[in-house]
Structure 1
Amino acid sequence: MTIFSWVFFALLIECYVKQCAGMSTGLQYVVVIDAGSTGSRAITYKFNVDHLNRQLQLNNRESVKQMTPGLHEFWNNPIEGGNQIQKLLEHVKEDIPKENLASTQLILRATGGMRKLKNPNQAENILKEVRKVFSTSGFYINGNSAEILDAVDEGIFSWFTINFLLGLLGSKKTVAALDMGGASTQVSFAIEDKLKSKVSSVYDHVYSVVTPNYESDVFSLSSELGLDVLLYKVLKYGTPNGTRHFNSVCMRHSVKLRRFYLNTMLFTVSGAPNRNLTIDFDACMDGVKKVTLNTINPKLHIENQRIFAFSGFAYKILSIGLIDSEKGGRLTLNDILSNTKIVCNTKTKDPFLCLHLTYIYVLLHHAYGLNLSTNIEFRQNVNGHVVSWTLGCAIDLLFGISKTKKYTSK
């Protein structure tokens, strides 16, 4: 066989491999839009992908573009929701070379805000407008480009992301993932064999998670009690239905008619009278516990794993200066409790900060059952990358991350 024939044969094989892979090997951009309760964030990831060996490497730091408000707020004007995404994509295109646009996969997944719309048709009408925008965007679009993200998938993607960034996938030392947004919160971790069927609160939430290179049994629980929803439920607790103004023991007496929104509805809140003109911390914690433990009460078994908390968890802890924005920091629940008491006795720019920090403590200690000495690593970034379920979603788009419920109910 001549040299020409060998070269031709090699090129033929290369073309066949690329066709079987569905796209060329090498550089691959993926854009994931996180349509959350407070706004839409478009995260552009850049990978070196080897489809033949089912491997990839995440390049550089991802770019993030965002717009407010959340998509769910366009429930009565879906076309305007589509227009917002159109504007967002114009900014996204600034970070992608023109020659790569047609091969850049684009996906939108809506989370807590859209899940909580009372009429499912409202969410679907918004998503239809988003799909129309996608169809003429110039990106590579698949059949389910804009959907509501399943809450369990959100938790599993978060677990996958943090362990991928730490290089722990496939090992026996994966870490637990705690994620929190405005409308929901998730906890996910690889579960030990001895706990899979012995603990009833765990049994119903175990999933077999499979990728081309990894397989693990993961506990994943999502609860519709994110920071914004928690705020509303604590303020509303014990008041008549339809109440739009609240008085709260979790806010200083000097707070008057502070406005906040939930699912497009406007509410106001004032601090409850207090003879010391400070927040009654014990009364505040009691109210938070009543709401939290009525919604979430699975005692977890993750004492032997490292625990990473990000998103809303890390943002609130960062806001009081306890961690570094890039390196994060490690705190015990005792640290959180003592600093929460200090915040609740101090005038802050954010009148809801005492309540939110109290919730984080109650959730981790009283609901999840973590000991006061438990160390938790609060991180917004790992190795220069934002910790978000969107990275797991992007990798799922490229290679597939399947989940099946491990056990059927007894």
Structure 2
Amino acid sequence: MKLGGGPADSQDVAKQKKTWSRKVLFILGVLFILGIIALIVVAVVQNRPLPKNLKYGIVLDAGSSHTNLYIYQWPAEKENDTGVVEQVFECKVDGNGISSYYLNPVDAGHSLQSCINRAQKIVPDRQQKETPVYLGATAGMRLLRRSSPMVASEVLTSVENVLRSSPFDFQGARIITGQEEGAYGWITINYLLGNFIQELSQSKSIRTSGALDLGGASTQITFESNENIESEENSLHFRLYGRTYDVYTHSFLCYGKDQALRKQLANSITNLQNASLLDPCFHSGYTRNLNTTELYTSPCVSDRRTLAAPPSIRIIGTGDYNLCKQKVQEIFNVSHCSYSRCSFNGIFQPILQGEFGAFSAFYFVMDFLKLSKEKVSLDTVKETVVRHCSKPWSEVKNESGKVKEKYLSEYCFSGVYILTLLELGYGFNSSSWEDITFLGKIHGSDAGWTLGYMLNLTNMIPSELPLSPPLSHGGYVGLMVFFSVFLLFILLTCWLSFRKPKCIQKGII
């Protein structure tokens, strides 16, 4: 009997080996491709850009002449417990300020609806329920509360109802104090100028800038002082970015530019002999009919009401800077002071220190007079205001473009008033005037109290842990090493299977 397989058996074995080799090659190939895919997927998922973990906040500035809605955003991971806040949207509410709706308070809330609708398109749907919305009413509502507390309450209730019915997280609508308005404006200015952030990267303290705010019904001055603040109500303390700040602040109600004009007119009417008033604070050739009943509705001048005043007065402009200055100076009382030093009306004020940012109406008036782009001397400002006041009304209208007549007609008074307020009221002189910078927007954000308000409120919003990749660093490295070794193992197996070294090959018979 012949032992051993014949040629046919050898061919079968060769075929089986070849078939087995193809199967192994196929399996190894599949495993190799899966390994590459897994390696790529882990790398991509781990290293893809993380979504922005942003928070949003909404603040409505309900001023005396108008209301603005601002949307702010900041990263959820805060820096030294204070969010890095930036303005991303602004909406000006149609109509006048909410205090103007005293005859029909319900309309005050309805006036906000259009801007609320626009805000819903800015804040992502999934975040609207957690986005806080605040309304802060300033001097206009402070005056309305003084004259008609019940009406002021009804106006606030109206805006509360509208804001509460929005998809946002309504946190409250209230009348903020003058000190708050001034202090939050100071925070805004220094935040936008980078004074808080710079202190974090430098060992020495950065000098903050003072804030000068001028609205329609009030004006505020706020600055950091190293003097003893003799009146406690003018002293405020803040903690921002890990440092405590002590600042002086005061708000002068009834000394916004609109109420100041009322005070000047009320003083002029007191000695009026007929129904015509020659007013040096308006341009020559300009006339305006003034309803005295409406004039005295403001608490700022209600005590000056005179029975001899006619119901309607015709104002005739004469455009005389010096006479206008005299009339404006009459509304400031600088003769009485029970402290070591005062600004006006017996209010304590320490010595002016450092640079100042002037915004709101300060900026708008100076910008109209083309005095806001660069620092100019006090004499240059005076010369510009004198020149503007001396222009006939017809010339002013031809040069103005599309500025509303009410605003255009009052720039002469406003320029004189700002000069008087800063010089006679606050004590700026030719030297310190150059420390003032007139500010509108800084890095895309409006200069005003609302950003400071939002910035301060972020101290009460819990910070969150930063978003992190799906795998820890150790887990990511471990997987990358595992799949890399796995691929190398497959490649080595393939090489050993189809290109065996001599030392492991079978002997040839």
> One fold, TM greater than 0.5?
yes
Q: Does 1:388 align with 2:448?
A: yes
Q: Map of 1:191-230 to 2, 5 A cutoff?
A: 191-192=225-226, 195-197=227-229, 200=230, 205-211=234-240, 213-224=242-253, 225-230=255-260
Aligned to 2:383: 338
SS in 2 for 1:252: coil
Counterpart residue type for residue 318 of structure 1: D
Aligned 8 A contact 2:91 2:115 in 1: no
**Offset at residue 95 of structure 1 (A):** 1.9
SS in 1 for 2:375: strand
Aligned 8 A contact 2:276 2:316 in 1: no
Q: Map of 1:16-165 to 2, 5 A cutoff?
A: 26-51=53-78, 53-59=80-86, 61-117=88-144, 118-142=147-171, 145-165=172-192
Q: Cα 1:399–1:203, aligned 2, differ >3 Å: closer, same or farther?
A: closer
**Offset at residue 337 of structure 1 (A):** 1.4
CA RMSD of aligned residues (A): 2.8
Rounded to whole Å, the distance in 2 between the matches of 1:138 and 1:244 is 53
Q: Map of 1:388-407 to 2, 5 A cutoff?
A: 388-400=448-460
Aligned to 1:231: 261
Normalising by structure 1, report the TM-score: 0.80
Aligned 8 A contact 1:253 1:270 in 2: no
Aligned to 2:325: 285
Rounded to whole Å, the distance in 2 between the matches of 1:255 and 1:297 is 36
SS in 2 for 1:67: coil
Aligned to 1:256: 287
Rounded to whole Å, the distance in 1 between the matches of 2:296 and 2:71 is 28
Aligned to 2:9: none
Aligned to 1:309: 358
Counterpart residue type for residue 57 of structure 1: V
**Offset at residue 86 of structure 1 (A):** 2.3
Aligned 8 A contact 1:183 1:228 in 2: yes
**Offset at residue 400 of structure 1 (A):** 4.9
For structure 1, the 5+ residue unaligned runs are 1-24, 273-277, 402-410
**The structure with more strand, counted as a fraction of residues:** 1
SS in 1 for 2:430: coil
Aligned 8 A contact 2:236 2:249 in 1: yes
CA offsets 1:352-382 (integer angstroms, 9 cap, x no match): 1111101100111111111123211001011
Counterpart residue type for residue 249 of structure 1: P
**Offset at residue 47 of structure 1 (A):** 1.2
Q: Cα 1:267–1:366, aligned 2, differ >3 Å: closer, same or farther?
A: farther
SS in 2 for 1:63: strand
Q: Cα 1:244–1:134, aligned 2, differ >3 Å: closer, same or farther?
A: farther
Rounded to whole Å, the distance in 2 between the matches of 1:396 and 1:222 is 19
CA offsets 1:281-300 (integer angstroms, 9 cap, x no match): 21110110111336646585
Query: Percent identity among equivalent residues?
Result: 27
For structure 2, the 5+ residue unaligned runs are 1-51, 200-204, 299-310, 335-343, 398-407, 462-509
Counterpart residue type for residue 331 of structure 2: V
Aligned to 1:186: 220
Normalising by structure 2, report the TM-score: 0.65
CA offsets 1:181-206 (integer angstroms, 9 cap, x no match): 100000000011xx215xx5x66522
Q: Cα 1:244–1:100, aligned 2, differ >3 Å: closer, same or farther?
A: farther
Aligned 8 A contact 2:223 2:353 in 1: no
Rounded to whole Å, the distance in 2 between the matches of 1:130 and 1:263 is 27
